[in-house]
């Protein structure tokens, strides 16, 4: 039985092995992914991002709990969690600490948790995460929570993998931190003010609301409804023009407050994506981005095989001696590569 | 007179124009850079990075002040500042607010300040910064301060441009934030605890010291000196084996406290780089990285010209329909590109 077949049958050991092969970029992993790919496209991918200190991990844990133990009448879901820490091997501790809190989840066959600490180059973090998500998707996990630490470009790239992106904020993290978080507001489908029992929650909400007004074409909504006062940016976000305005939800994750409402907002957004056809557009954009990143990597490795080491070193030395400029070096290397 | 010649003559207007051409990736900018490149390699590049809220901008301003108005006996230096904000167009405000404080610097012909707000894709941020630094270097600016906001991969890439990288911390930013900052510790040549008049400064220093012990091969130093107690990680950092241990310095930038000591530590590190030959190694690594990034961009744009739109769309549609896997799509596109 091939590794891919075992994964399709839901064998956890096979999944763990394949995820490791993917992380180490082994050829076997690539082959299995090719077999699994036709079985993907069913899961709902939920990105969870935000600045450090906002309590993302607790929120992800509570969401997973709720999906496993929903209110009566709601279906139980199979949940995978991919926790990506792109900052450093040193920060592994932070994520591992949070994972300890998840012990009660880990005995549940309907939950699979995988932490990724990036070592060395981060260029491949988003494609690797994407491949891992494909494994969970093919194995029948219905909701895949992708948690990233921080607010840099790697996190934004990873968040773009998701169908629904939660941006998590918390009161009292300071003004400059608020400013930097604005960058990821642009990718937010749902804004969560976690630790909402802390002082300053109204200020945080107000700041988010004014940033939303900058980031989204709310003016159209205003005109449609006739007056600024009628915008309720806190509701589930659909207006008659099928424009999604990110709702702002309060949670206190460690107490479970606001979790059912957040699960409902995720379901609303999922329905919005289906109704408007945006889900297909997002899948398309995601696969296209993945394709282009793979092509880029392939082009570079093919070119490296074409150029001889001595030729490369010679041109590099001329560059370092400032005899030729970087652009002249590129010309020399690419033309050299073609004639070789 | 060509733009490059005007820049070499130190004309500010020409510099500003060339910097804009570089930011917009205009062919004229590339040409001028080629002319300027042989005149580069003299400036000392100082990267300043760290989490939001640490007071990096104030520190950069104070450093610039000091280099312009040094203690008696020290030479006055020409200073350029490149402030890079990779997070978002929305955060432009934060950097502009800091720039207001620099008004007193801006009338000084020995100072040139340039802010870069990244819009859209961030892939090209480090190469663009590198090109800008080359302009300042060729124009005779002796110290180039490269300030980045945040702690993501873009900031790390930019910090790698520098000869000397300052990582700025501040007391009381919370534990999880401390953890994420550990990622940039690996690139720190000098650690600055700014806002050192705040409570908790000892805790911050202690946390940094224990992270340094993880990040650096201090064990060798321990053995060399015979006992753990003899390590003074606060000194200027050179031991008899020419190993640089990042010193930890306290500053209160808004009051100017600790700035002369910081300038001295930068000079010490500069001397260390020269003595050990590491300056040459860093320049080499930087130019090689720049070359490889340029090659990658060129390979992709050449390939795009080779593949027809219809061919690309057809393969993309098969991928989206999950008839072929991403890796199969890459194979089809690259072979298609070669035979075209």
Cβ of A180 and B295 within 8 Å?
Answer: no
User: Considering chain B, what percentage of its residues have pLDDT values greater than 70?
Assistant: 75
Burial B246-264 (b: 16+ CB within 10 A, else e): bbbbbbbbeeebbbeebbe
The alpha helices in chain A, defined as continuous H runs, are: 3-8, 12-23, 27-36, 56-68, 92-100, 103-106, 125-138, 153-159, 175-185, 201-215, 218-225, 259-276, 278-306, 309-320, 326-339
ipTM score assigned to the predicted complex: 0.72
* Torsion A200-A205-A206-A211 (CA) sign: positive
Nearest Cα residue to A196 out of A174, A175, A233, A171: A171
Q: Which residues in A lie closer than 8 A to residue B299 (C-beta atoms)?
A: 296, 299-300, 303, 334
Q: What distance in Å separates the CA atoms of residue A11 and residue A3, rounded to the nearest whole number?
A: 9
Nearest to A295 among B37, B179, B333 (CB): B333
Do B294 and A151 make contact, defined as CB atoms within 8 angstroms?
no
Q: Which of B83, B109, B81, B108 is nearest to B97 (CA)?
A: B83
The region of weakest confidence among A158-167, A178-187, A330-339 is A178-187
Closest partner CB to A326 (pick from B91, B290, B322): B290
> Does the beta-carbon distance from A300 to B296 stay under 8 Å?
yes
HSE-up of residue A137 (Cα within 13 Å, Cβ side) = 22
Q: What is the pLDDT of residues A250-295, one digit of tens each?
A: 999 999 999 999 999 999 999 999 999 999 888 888 888 888 888 8
The CA distance from A73 to the nearest CA of chain B, in Å, is 33
A90 neighbourhood in chain B, CB within 8 Å: 179, 182-183, 185-186, 211, 214-215
- Note the pTM of the prediction, 2 decimals: 0.66
| Model confidence band, residue B340 (pLDDT cutoffs 50, 70, 90) | very low
From B325's Cα to the closest Cα of chain A, the distance in A is 5
> What pLDDT, on a 0 to 100 scale, did the predictor assign at position A234?
40
Q: Which residues contact A153 (CB under 8 A, 6 or more apart)?
A: B86, B122, B152, B153, B154
- Give the three-state DSSP class for B18: helix
CB contact under 8 A, B295 and A330: yes
Distance from CA of A292 to the nearest CA of B (A): 8
User: Over the Cα atoms of chain B, what is R_g?
Assistant: 23
CB contact under 8 A, B296 and A299: yes
A-chain residues within 8 Å CB-CB of B294? 326-327, 329-330
What was the pLDDT predicted at B223? 34
> What are the chain A neighbours of B312 within 8 Å (beta carbons)?
none
Burial class (CB in 10 A: 0-12, 13-18, 19+), A281: exposed
Q: Which residues pair with A46 in a beta bridge?
A: A145, A164
User: Rounded to a whole number, what is the distance in Å from the CA of B72 to chain A's nearest CA?
Assistant: 36
Rounded to 5°, angle at Cα A122 from A116 and A127: 70
Q: CA angle A223-A225-A229, nearest 5°?
A: 95
Structure tokens at A195: 């630790």
The bridge status of strand B79-85 relative to strand B143-148 is parallel
* Cα dihedral A67, A71, A72, A73 in deg (nearest 10): -60
Q: Can you read off the two tokens belonging to residue B216?
A: 């650096």
Eight-class DSSP state of B143: E
Mean pLDDT of A173-196: 70
pLDDT(A225) > 80: no
Q: Which residues pair with B117 in a beta bridge?
A: B85
Query: Which of A304, A326, A329, A338 to mutate: most B Cβ within 10 Å?
Result: A326
Q: How far apart are CA A293 and CA A133, in angstroms?
A: 16
Question: Cα–Cα distances in Å, from A37 out to A28, A132, A137, B319?
Answer: 14, 11, 9, 9
Which residue of chain A has the CA closest to B55?
A176
* B316 contacts in chain A (CB < 8 Å): 284, 287-288, 291
Among B94, B174, B183, beta carbon nearest to A179: B94
Q: In the 8-state DSSP scheme, what is residue B19?
A: H
Smallest Cα distance from A259 to chain B, Å:
23
> CA torsion angle for A333, A335, A338, A339 (degrees, to 10)?
-110
Task: Give the residue from chain A lying closest to B211, CA to CA.
Answer: A90
Which member of B153, B174, B296 has the closest CB to residue A153? B153
Q: What is the pLDDT of residue B218?
A: 44
pLDDT over 90 (residue A151): no
The sign one gets for the Cα dihedral B13, B15, B20, B26 is positive
Q: Which CATH architecture has domain A40-278?
A: 3-Layer(aba) Sandwich (3.40)
**Whether residue B1 has pLDDT greater than 50:** yes
More confident residue, A248 or B129: A248
Contacts of B188 in chain A (CB under 8 A): none
Q: Indicate the residue of B176, B215, B298 with minimum beta-carbon distance to A52.
A: B176
Contact at CB, B325 and A296, closer than 8 angstroms: no
Residues A59-74 pLDDT 10s: 999 999 999 999 888 8
State the angle between helix axes of A12-23 and A125-138 in degrees (0 to 180), rounded to the nearest 10. Answer: 160
To the nearest whole Å, the CA of B192 is away from the closest chain A CA by 19
For residue A34, the chain B residue with the least C-alpha distance is B325
Nearest to B180 among A149, A182, A302 (CB): A149
* Mean pLDDT computed over A308-317: 92
Domain B40-281 has CATH 3.40.1590.10: no
Name the token pair of B17: 């124009």
Q: What is the pLDDT of residue B304?
A: 86
| Inter-chain residue contact B38 with A180, CB threshold 8 Å | no
If you measure CA to CA, which chain B residue comes closest to A173?
A: B173
Question: In this model, does residue B231 exceed pLDDT 80?
Answer: no
* Contact between chains at A91 and B41 (C-beta distance less than 8 A): no
Q: In Å, how far is A247's CA from the nearest CA of chain B?
A: 20
CB–CB contact B150 A149 (8 Å): no
Residue B224 has pLDDT above 70, yes or no: no
pLDDT band at B112 (very low <50, low <70, confident <90, very high): very high
Indicate the range of A79-83, B105-109, B256-260 predicted with least confidence: B105-109
Summarised one tens digit per residue, pLDDT across range B148-170 is 865 556 666 777 789 999 988 88
pLDDT (0 to 100) of residue A49: 84
What does the alpha-carbon distance between residue A122 and residue B156 come to, in Å, rounded to a whole number? 11
Instruction: Indicate if the pLDDT at residue B122 is higher than 70.
Output: no
DSSP class of residue B37 equals G
List the structure tokens of A71.
């209110």
pLDDT surpasses 90 at A249: yes
pLDDT the model gives residue A92: 40
A80 pLDDT above the threshold of 80: yes
Structure token pair of residue B120 = 């859209």
- In whole angstroms, give the CA distance from residue A270 to residue A281: 13
Work out the mean pLDDT of chain B and round it to a whole number.
79
Using the beta-carbon criterion (under 8 Å), do A322 and B295 form an inter-chain contact? no
pLDDT at residue B3, rounded to an integer:
94
How does the average pLDDT of chain A come out, rounded?
79
Any residues with CB less than 8 A from the CB of A192 and at least 6 apart, and which?
Answer: A50, A59, A166, A167, A168, A169, A248, A249, A250, A251, A258, A262
pLDDT score recorded for residue A96: 44
CB pairs under 8 A between A and B: 196
Summarised one tens digit per residue, pLDDT across range B16-58 is 999 999 888 888 898 899 999 999 999 999 999 877 778 888 8
Q: How far is A124 from chain B (nearest CA, A)?
A: 12
pLDDT at B208: 81
> Band of the pLDDT at A322, cuts 50, 70, 90?
very high
Please give the helix or strand (H or E) that residue B308 lies within, else none: none
CB B44 within 8 A of CB B144: yes
| pLDDT per position as a tens digit, A118-146 | 543 334 567 788 889 999 999 999 999 99
Residue B88 has pLDDT above 70, yes or no: no
Q: A184 to chain B: which residues are within 8 Å by CB?
A: 88
- What average pLDDT does the segment A83-92 reach? 53
3-class state of residue B293 by DSSP: helix
* Alpha carbon of A190: minimum distance to chain B alpha carbons (Å): 19
Long-range contact list for B3-8, CB < 8 A, 24+ apart?
A: B3/B28, B3/B32, B4/B31, B4/B32, B4/B35, B4/B36, B4/B138, B5/B35, B7/B32, B7/B36, B7/B135, B7/B138, B7/B139, B8/B36, B8/B39, B8/B138, B8/B139
Distance CA A91, CA B214 (A): 12
Tell me how close the Cα of A72 comes to any Cα of chain B, in angstroms: 36
- pLDDT at residue B120, rounded to an integer: 37
CB A325 within 8 A of CB B317: no
Q: Is the pLDDT of residue B250 over 90?
A: yes
- Starting at the edge strand that comes first in sequence, how are the strands of the sheet with A143-148 ordered? A111-117, A79-85, A143-148, A44-50, A164-169, A190-193, A248-250
> Which residue from B minimizes the CA distance to A282?
B320
pLDDT in tens, B307-336: 899 999 999 999 999 999 888 899 899 876
First to last CA, chain A: 44
Query: B113 and B164 in contact (C-beta within 8 Å)?
Result: no
- Residues ≥6 apart with Cβ < 8 Å to B111: B64, B68, B78, B79, B80, B81, B105
């Amino acid at each position: 039985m091939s590794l891919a077949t075992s994964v399709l049958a839901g064998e956890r050991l096979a999944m763990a092995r394949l995820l490791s092969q993917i992380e180490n970029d082994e050829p076997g992993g690539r082959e299995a992914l090719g077999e699994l790919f036709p079985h993907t496209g069913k899961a709902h991918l939920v990105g969870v991002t935000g600045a450090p200190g906002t309590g993302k991990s607790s929120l992800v844990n509570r969401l997973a709990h709720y999906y496993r133990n929903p209110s009566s009448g709601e279906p139980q879901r199979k949940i995978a969690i991919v926790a990506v820490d792109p900052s450093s091997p040193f920060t592994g501790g932070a994520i591992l600490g949070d994972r300890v809190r998840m012990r009660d989840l880990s005995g549940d066959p309907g939950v699979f948790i995988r932490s990724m600490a990036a070592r060395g180059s981060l260029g491949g973090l988003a494609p690797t995460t994407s491949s891992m998500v494909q494994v969970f998707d093919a194995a029948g996990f219905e909701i895949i929570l992708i948690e990233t630490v921080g607010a840099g470009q790697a996190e934004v790239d990873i968040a773009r993998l998701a169908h629904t992106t939660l941006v998590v904020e918390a009161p009292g993290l300071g003004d400059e931190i608020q400013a930097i978080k604005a960058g990821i507001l642009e990718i937010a489908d749902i804004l969560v003010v976690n630790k909402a029992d802390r002082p300053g929650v109204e200020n945080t909400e107000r700041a988010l609301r004014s940033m939303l007004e900058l980031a989204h074409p709310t003016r159209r909504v205003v005109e449609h409804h006739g007056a600024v006062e009628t915008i309720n940016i806190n509701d589930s976000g659909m207006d008659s023009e099928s424009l999604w305005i990110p709702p702002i939800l309060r949670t206190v994750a460690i107490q479970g407050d606001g979790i059912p409402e957040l699960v409902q907002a995720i379901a609303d957004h999922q329905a919005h994506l289906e109704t408007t056809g945006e889900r297909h557009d997002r899948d398309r954009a995601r696969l296209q981005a993945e394709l282009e990143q793979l092509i880029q990597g392939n082009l570079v490795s093919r070119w490296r095989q074409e150029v001889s080491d001595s030729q490369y070193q010679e041109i590099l030395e001329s560059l370092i001696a400032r005899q030729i400029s970087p652009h002249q070096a590129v010309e020399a290397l690419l033309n050299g590569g073609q004639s070789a």
